[in-house]
Amino acid sequence: MNWKYGIAVILVILALFAGCTGRNEERTGQGSSGTTREQVQAQIITLNGAGATFPYPLISRWSYEYNKINPRVQINYQSIGSGGGIKQTMAKTVSWGATDAPLKESEFAKMPGVLHIPETIGAVVIAYNLPGVGSGLRLSGEVIADIFLGKIRRWDDPRIAELNPGVALPDRDIIVVHRSDGSGTTYVFTDYLSSVSSEWSTWVGKGKSMNWPVGLGGKGNEGVAGLIRQNPYSIGYVELAYATTAKMTYAYVKNREGNFVEPTIETISAAAAGAAPAMPRGDESWSDVSIVNAPGNDSYPISSFTYLLVYKDLSVIPGMTEVRAKALVDFLNWVIHDGQEYSTALLYVPLPDEVVKLNEDTIKLINYNGKPLTG
């Protein structure tokens, strides 16, 4: 009896493998299928992207609006996380990727010819729950870092009181709340703390997931917001859009010029504009790019770009034709110009003109097998 089972097992395995190969062919779309299907493909161009969750609402809005203008072009976006976006871009299984943090030097080296295109700006807000104190508590970067390092433990600490004359600070312990899931929001926040506190950058560093010295971890913006709301005397960080829609109380943060700045679309946009002159070309490494603590009187100091990743020579992606590549470039051009007007309604920060200009130059670099795609 046993050998019969063996044969059956082998047959089923073979069938499984056959199934897999069949599917691969389908995915690249290069099989010698009938003319009708090729005709359909010529009519509808589908461009798949994958990556960060943070820009997902904005990208899906773009996809919808762009499809209304160009019914032939269908933009699909899977928000699987920045890590997955980078991996899929590296494996060339998607036409474009998206990530909240720029590629690290080591990642950039593995993906020659990849371009960074900042598509929108996100900001992080320091939210707190202090009974009797509304929005506008003034905090500096050093004080925030020391709170999250566990060195400032009480709300009536003289260093907080010094920044907030006239505010009745309670005689209570601070409950620190942070994100527990890997997140671009955490990256921006810790990038900021690293830039203002040498102790933070030495002992904790910056990243999407951290080894936190103190505090409770909440899953997602909603988890952090829930913990802050339920626990009086707590402090944490959430993305701007979330803080605004959830009507949380938040701090004004001291910027590089010494002003305490409220996080708004204008102050965040000012930060990006202030940082623009120091930014690299689209095909250079962006690993050091950061707009935290950007110069400018009105710049809010805790914000960051989120990026689209596109190959300079699109012919390296399997299944990419010149027509499809041209469609992608047209979409990217639309995103950095007309697409920006959808940002504000969704509480994303539109790119300032300086960055749009930089992106225009980057998109001009995109080609198909050496042939330029912009007119």
Partner 1 sequence: MRKRFSPDTMFEFAVGAVAFTGVILLAVLLLGELVLGAMPSIKTFGVGFLFETTWDPVFEKFGALAFIYGTLLSSFLAMLIGVPLSLGIAIYLAEVASSNVRTLISPVIELMAAIPSVIIGLWGIFVFAPFMRDYIATPLAKYLGFLPFFSGPAFGLSFLTAGFILAFMIIPIVSSITREALLAVPVLQKEGALALGATRWEMIVMTVLPYSRAAIFGAVIIGLGRAIGETMAVTMVIGNTPQLAASLLAPGYSMAAVIANEFTEATGDLYLSALIEIGLILFIISILVNASSRLLVWRYFEVRDSK
Q: Write out the residues near partner 1 by the rule CB under 8 A.
A: 1, 4-5, 8-9, 11-13, 16, 53, 80-84, 86, 104, 107, 173, 175, 180-184, 190, 204-212, 215-219, 223, 226-227, 230-231
Q: Considering the complex, what minimum distance in angstroms separates the CB of residue 74 from partner 1?
A: 25
Nearer to partner 1, 49 or 184 (CB): 184
Provide the minimum distance between the beta carbon of 226 and partner 1 in the complex, in angstroms, as a whole number: 5
Nearer to partner 1, 179 or 254 (CB): 179
Q: Which is nearer to partner 1, 43 or 211 (CB)?
A: 211
Measured from the Cβ of residue 110, the count of other Cβ atoms closer than 10 Å reads 11
**Ramachandran sector of residue 41 (left: φ over 0; alpha: ψ -120 to 50; beta: rest):** alpha
Query: Helix 322-336 to helix 353-364 angle, to the nearest 10 degrees?
Result: 170
CB of 64 to partner 1, least distance (A): 24
Residues contacting 2, CB < 8 A, separation 6+: none
Q: Which is nearer to partner 1, 32 or 202 (CB)?
A: 202
Work out how close the CB of 206 gets to partner 1 at its nearest, in angstroms, rounded to a whole number. 7
Nearest approach, Cβ of residue 6 and partner 1 (Å): 9
For residue 148, which of 192, 183, 208 has the smallest C-alpha distance? 192
Could you count the other beta carbons within 10 Å of the beta carbon of residue 282? 22
Q: Closer to partner 1 by CB, 89 or 255: give it.
A: 89
Nearer to partner 1 by C-beta: 55 or 184?
A: 184
Is the CB of residue 364 less than 8 Å from the CB of residue 374? yes
Distances (CA, A) of 166 to 62, 162, 169: 46, 10, 9
Q: How many CB atoms lie within 10 A of CB 174?
A: 22
CB of 268 vs partner 1, minimal distance in Å: 22
Angle, alpha carbons 300-188-332 (nearest 5°): 90
Residue 306 main-chain phi, psi, to 5 deg = -120, 145
Strand segments, DSSP code E, in 243-366 are 249-250, 252-254, 260-261, 303-311
CB of 210 to partner 1, least distance (A): 6
Q: Which is nearer to partner 1, 2 or 43 (CB)?
A: 2
Give whichever of 208 and 256 is closer to partner 1, judged by the CB atom: 208
Q: What is the dihedral of CA 92, 93, 96, 99, to 10 degrees?
A: -90
Min CB(46)–partner 1 separation in Å: 24
Strand 45-51 relative to strand 73-78, pairing: parallel
